[in-house]
Amino acid sequence: MLYREAGQFKATYQEDQQIFPIRQDRVGMAVILAFFFAAVPLIASEYWLQAILIPVLIFSLAAIGLNILTGYAGQLSLGSAAFMAVGAFGAYNFMLRIDGMPFLLAVVLGGLCAAVVGVAFGLPSLRIKGFYLAVATLAAQFFIVWALVKFSWFSNYSSSGVISAQEVNILGFAFDTPILKYLLTLAIVAVLALLAKNLVRSATGRRWMAVRDMDVAAEVIGIRPMRAKLSAFAVSSFYCGVAGALYAYTYLGTVEPEGFNLDLSFKILFMIIIGGVGSMLGSFLGAAFIVLLPIFLNVSMHTMFGDSLPAGLGSNLELIVFGGLIIFFLIVEPHGLARLWALAKDKLRLWPFPH
């Protein structure tokens, strides 16, 4: 009964084109933002902030990046982690080599480095599609990690290839506690998510989706597939790059190239598949699912069996249940959690009537 759009008339196209045309959605979004910006810092423990909320936010950003490329522009990629690495090492080097480099600018520049690299590795998409393109982006994944290890200039000649993120300092204000790092991450992710949403509802987004859905027709309408695909690669890699920089600066503190391996790329791919391909909300839900589920399983294993299980068996059981749940979700709703949410909203609008 509460979720009704009845009585909400739109008199202008501007009202009709809002991101949340229904009032209840707008209120809901405001409540969610207020909760995460104001309430969470007050109630969340350090563990929650550092081990759960910050990584969920960062992975959401990376998932938005991959979703732009795969979900909206239809180009499959297995190189997301590598683009994150470019962003992380890019931001690190800008901070290191330029005196007085503002942190936010370094993050943006790191993202732009990733965008340039992304466009370069996106060039094969002009010729090949689908799984074959995925294999081509696999080259990006291996090449970039290899290059970051091989040329130790990138890690400032550290013997192990590990970089330690510099202190985060914006306008003389140090972001050194988990709460501040969380708020900084949240603010960046919120702004970038809004920009991404704007992009996909604009002509740029329609060009991407047109190329995804029917490239011949898109071309006949006057869309240049090359421009659409490469811009998707650029924006997607930019988002992954910023996520990578945050991964280094607000989450881990120290990163090495090997940390951005194929496993991480797959993890991000799973996030968008489970969350919902071609959905902004799905990027967040997928990231939360993939980060939280293993922790949840771990905790519930411990409460169920205590310490009676051998350590190896316990962790393997977790993996088995994790895999099983992913398969279960994909069978129940192949379009992801975001679709489940949309279906629930449709039902809610009619409730308590079935039709």
Partner 1 sequence: MMMNDMAQGAETSSGRRIGEVILDLQNISLSFGGVNALTDISFNVREHEIRSIIGPNGAGKSSMLNVMNGVYHPQKGKILFRGEPRQKMDPHTAAAQGIARTFQNIALFKGMSVLDNIMTGRNMKMKCNLLQHAIFWGKAQKEEIEHRVKVEEVIDFLEIQSIRKTPVGRLPYGLQKRVELGRALAAEPSLLLLDEPMAGMNVEEKQDMCRFILDVNDQFGTTIVLIEHDMGVVMDISDRVVVLDYGKKIGDGTPDEVKNNEDVIAAYLGTSH
Residues in contact with partner 1 by CB under 8 A are 12-14, 17, 195-196, 198-199, 201-207, 209-210, 212-214, 216-224, 231, 235, 278
80 versus 231: smaller Cβ distance to partner 1? 231
Write down the least CB distance from residue 278 to partner 1, Å: 7
Neighbours of 215 (CB within 10 A): 16
Q: How far apart are CA 137 and CA 116, in angstroms?
A: 14
Spatial CA neighbour of 22 closest among 343, 338, 284, 346 = 346
Question: String of b and e for 219-249 (b: at least 16 CB within 10 Å)?
Answer: eeeebebeebbbbbbbbbbbbbbbbbbbbbb
Amino acid identity, position 39: A
Structure tokens given for 123? 């060039």
Annotate 292-342 with DSSP letters as a single string: HHHHHHHHHHHHHHTT-S-HHHHHHHHHHHHHHHHHHHHHH-TT-HHHHHH
Of 90 and 278, the one with the shorter C-beta distance to partner 1 is 278
Burial class (CB in 10 A: 0-12, 13-18, 19+), 116: middle
17/45 with CB nearer partner 1: 17
Given the DSSP bridges, would you call strands 163-164 and 254-255 parallel, antiparallel or unpaired?
antiparallel
Smaller CB distance to partner 1: residue 113 or 228?
Answer: 228
**Distance in Å, CB of 334 to partner 1, minimum:** 14
Q: How far is the CB of 155 from partner 1 (least distance, A)?
A: 32
C-beta closer to partner 1: residue 24 or 315? 24
Is residue 180 helix, strand or coil?
A: helix
Minimum separation from the CB atom of position 212 to partner 1 (A): 7
Is the alpha carbon torsion for 152, 153, 154, 155 positive or negative? positive
Q: Which is nearer to partner 1, 2 or 220 (CB)?
A: 220
> Least Å distance between CB 25 and partner 1?
15
Min separation Cβ 223 and partner 1, Å: 6
Geometric angle at alpha carbon 186, from 15 and 192, rounded to 5°: 50
Q: The tokens of 108 are what?
A: 């943006």
Rounded to a whole number of angstroms, the minimum distance from the CB of residue 200 to partner 1 is 9
Query: Which of 176/213 has CB closer to partner 1?
Result: 213
